[in-house]
Amino acid sequence: MRSLSLVAALAAAALASAPTFAHPKLLSANPAANAVVAAPTRLQLSFSEGLVAQFSGADLSMTDMPGMKMKSPMKMALKASVAPDGKTLVLALAKPLPRGTYKLDWHVVSTDTHRVQGSYAFKVK
């Protein structure tokens, strides 16, 4: 019985010290989902794990513009990079976003090679 307890303890210790690999989680976004903000010139998404810059990015589309009927979403130009902290995806815009509703579709790959994606909407007043 004593040797069984010792084996169980050693197995538990080995599992506890093994690295855990999880998918990166979106911790915060600026602007946040469903937020109404002044015209931003950059967007930031912070994640729980380090990101691989060349495999991480986003698409931003205007889905509604006040006073204008849109037939389809209008893609907005942006440049994606990873901040020096390694966990923040920075999306730089060439100019401030005009008034309207936007949808951000993002995808990231963490340093342990897990890929996740998501999307959310926000408004510019």
Domain of 105, CATH number, reads: 2.60.40.1220
31 cis-preceded (ω within 30 degrees of 0): yes
Residue 92 has pLDDT above 50, yes or no: yes
Residue 75 within a domain: yes
If one counts every other C-beta atom within 10 angstroms of the C-beta of residue 89, the result is 24
Number of structural domains (the chain) is: 1
Instruction: Give the whole-angstrom CA distance, residue 111 versus residue 70.
Output: 39
Residue 17 within a domain: no
Instruction: Give the whole-angstrom CA distance, residue 93 versus residue 125.
Output: 17
Residue 57 within a domain: yes
Band of residue 21 on the pLDDT scale cut at 50, 70, 90: low
Instruction: Give the whole-angstrom CA distance, residue 89 versus residue 56.
Output: 8
Weakest mean pLDDT among 2-11, 50-59, 70-79? 2-11
Residue 37 within a domain: yes
Residue 42 within a domain: yes
Domain containing 84 equals 22-124
Residue 5 within a domain: no
Residue 3 within a domain: no
Residue 16 within a domain: no
Side chain identity, residue 92: A
Band of residue 23 on the pLDDT scale cut at 50, 70, 90: confident
Sign of the alpha-carbon dihedral angle for 49, 50, 52, 58 = positive
What Rg do the C-alpha atoms of the chain give, in angstroms? 21
Residue 29 has pLDDT above 60, yes or no: yes
